[in-house]
C-alpha cells in the first residue's frame, strides 16, 4: 500500500520535533534521563523547536512525583497501565510538532544524539538509532530470537534491517497516524511500524548508536514478547505483503501435490484423495493470496 511521501518539500520548519517518552515504574532512571535530555538539548543549542512529552503509563512507584518536579515537560497520565505502545500512541496524539522522536526513560539510549537523528530526516522518512555502535550492552538471551525475527522481517520487507525494534527513532507524526489502527499497545509497536513503513516503500535510515545498561528492572519478558513479535510481523506481513506470506504456503501444497501425483501415477496406479486435497489447498491458497494482494492495491491512497 503506497502512501504519500513526507519528504516532499521538506523545510527547516518541518524539523520541529516532539520527544515522546513512555514510562512505567521508572523511578530509578527517569529523573537522570530527563535531566540529561534537557541539559543536552539546551547546551547543544538545538536549531529546531522541540517539546518533551512524557506519558506516565499507570506507574505505581514514585515516577509521577519525579515527573511533576520537572519544568517545561508535558506530562500525560494513564490511570492504569496500558502498555508501551499505548503510551506511545497517547504521546503522539498529544504532540504538537510534525516529527516524533521516541526514546526510553531508563537511560539506555544516547539521547544526546537526538538532534543529529532529527537532521537525518532531511534524507529519510524514518531514522532509526540502530544498536550496532561501538558500545552496546545487550543481553545475549534476547539476541538469539531477534536474529531469526529480523531474518523473517527482512524476507517480508525485502530490506536489510540492522535493528528492528530500537526504541530511539524519528518519524513523521502524520505517518504514525496513518498506521495507528494497526500499531499495537505492546512492545511490538516499534517492530510493527518498521515493517509497515518498509512494506510501503518508505525510506528508512539506520544510524549506529551506543546502547547502555538500563536503570531499574526490564519490563520485557523474552518468551512472551518474542511470540508477540512473531505474531505481529506475520500480521503486518499479511496486511501489507500478502503474496510474501501466502504464496510460499501455496507452493508447499503444490509441491506435495506433485509428489503424491507421481506416486499415484507410477506406484498406486490410482488418483487418491490426498492428491486432490493438496491440489485444492494449493489453488485456494494461491487465489486467496492474489485476492488479498488485489485488495491491498485497491486501497492505495
Q: How far is CA 100 from CA 126, 206, 228, in A?
A: 10, 16, 24
Between these two residues, 291 and 74, which has the higher pLDDT value?
A: 74
> Could you tell me which residues come within 8 angstroms of residue 143 by beta carbon, excluding any fewer than 6 positions away?
none
Percent of the chain residues past pLDDT 90, beyond the cut: 58
Check pLDDT > 60 for residue 298. Answer: no
Average pLDDT over residues 179-196: 89
Higher pLDDT, 167 or 234: 167
**pLDDT at position 300, please?**
45
Q: Among the ranges 36-45, 73-82, 263-272, which has the highest mean pLDDT value? A: 73-82
pLDDT for 268 equals 87
- pLDDT confidence band for 2 (50 / 70 / 90): very low
6 pLDDT above the threshold of 70: no
What does the block give as the cell for 190? 516499534
Q: For residue 156, is pLDDT > 80?
A: yes
> In this structure, what are the phi and psi dihedrals at residue 55, rounded to the nearest 5 degrees?
-105, 110
Pick the CATH number of 12-240 from 3.40.50.300, 3.50.50.60, 3.90.550.10, 3.30.930.10: 3.90.550.10
Residue ranges of the domains in the chain? 12-240, 242-298
* Rounded average pLDDT over 124-132: 95
- Residue 279 has φ and ψ, to the nearest 5°, of -65, -45
Considering the chain, what is the average pLDDT of its residues? 86
pLDDT band at 214 (very low <50, low <70, confident <90, very high): low
Query: What is the distance between the alpha carbons of residues 151 and 91, in angstroms, rounded to a whole number?
Result: 31
**Sign of the CA dihedral running 293, 123, 211, 44:** negative
* Confidence class for position 139, pLDDT limits 50, 70, 90: low
Name the nearest CA neighbour of 52 among 17, 15, 23.
17
Has residue 134 got a pLDDT over 60?
A: yes
pTM score of the predicted model: 0.79
- Residue 76: the pLDDT is 97
Reported confidence tier of residue 128, pLDDT bands at 50, 70, 90: very high
Q: Which grid coordinates are listed for 80?
A: 492504569
Q: Summarize the confidence of residues 180-198 as an average pLDDT.
A: 89
pLDDT tens per residue, range 231-270: 767 777 777 788 888 999 999 999 999 999 999 999 988 8
- List Cα–Cα distances, 17 to 101, 109, 116, 224, 285, in angstroms: 7, 17, 12, 33, 45
Amino acid at each position: 500500500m503506497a502512501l504519500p511521501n513526507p519528504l516532499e518539500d521538506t523545510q527547516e520548519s518541518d524539523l520541529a520535533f516532539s520527544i515522546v517518552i513512555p514510562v512505567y515504574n521508572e523511578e530509578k532512571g527517569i529523573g537522570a534521563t530527563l535531566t540529561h535530555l534537557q541539559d543536552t538539548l539546551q547546551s547543544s543549542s538545538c536549531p529546531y523547536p522541540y517539546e518533551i512529552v512524557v506519558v506516565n503509563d499507570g506507574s505505581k512507584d514514585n515516577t509521577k512525583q519525579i515527573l511533576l518536579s520537572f519544568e517545561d515537560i508535558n506530562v500525560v497520565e494513564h490511570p492504569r497501565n496500558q502498555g508501551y505502545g499505548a503510551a506511545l500512541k497517547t504521546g503522539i496524539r498529544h504532540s504538537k510538532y510534525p516529527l516524533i522522536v521516541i526514546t526510553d526513560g531508563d537511560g539506555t539510549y544516547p539521547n544526546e544524539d537526538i538532534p543529529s537523528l532529527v537532521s537525518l530526516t532531511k534524507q529519510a522518512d524514518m531514522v532509526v538509532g540502530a544498536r550496532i555502535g561501538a558500545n552496546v550492552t545487550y543481553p545475549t538471551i534476547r539476541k538469539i530470537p531477534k536474529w531469526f525475527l529480523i531474518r523473517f522481517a527482512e524476507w517480508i520487507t525485502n530490506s536489510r534491517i540492522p535493528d528492528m525494534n530500537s526504541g530511539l527513532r524519528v518519524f513523521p507524526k502524520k505517518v504514525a497516524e496513518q498506521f495507528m489502527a494497526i500499531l499495537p499497545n505492546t512492545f511490538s509497536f516499534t517492530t510493527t511500524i518498521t515493517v509497515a513503513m518498509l512494506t510501503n516503500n518508505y525510506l528508512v535510515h539506520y544510524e549506529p548508536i551506543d546502547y547502555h545498561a538500563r536503570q531499574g528492572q526490564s519490563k520485557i519478558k523474552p518468551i512472551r514478547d518474542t511470540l508477540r513479535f512473531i505474531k505481529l510481523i506475520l500480521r503486518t506481513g499479511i496486511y501489507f505483503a500478502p503474496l510474501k506470506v501466502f504464496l510460499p504456503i501455496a507452493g508447499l501444497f503444490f509441491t506435495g501435490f506433485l509428489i503424491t501425483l507421481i506416486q499415484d501415477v507410477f506406484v498406486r496406479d490410482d488418483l487418491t484423495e490426498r492428491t486432490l486435497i493438496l491440489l485444492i489447498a494449493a489453488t485456494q491458497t494461491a487465489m486467496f493470496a492474489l485476492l488479498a494482494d488485489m485488495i491491498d492495491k485497491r486501497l492505495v491512497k
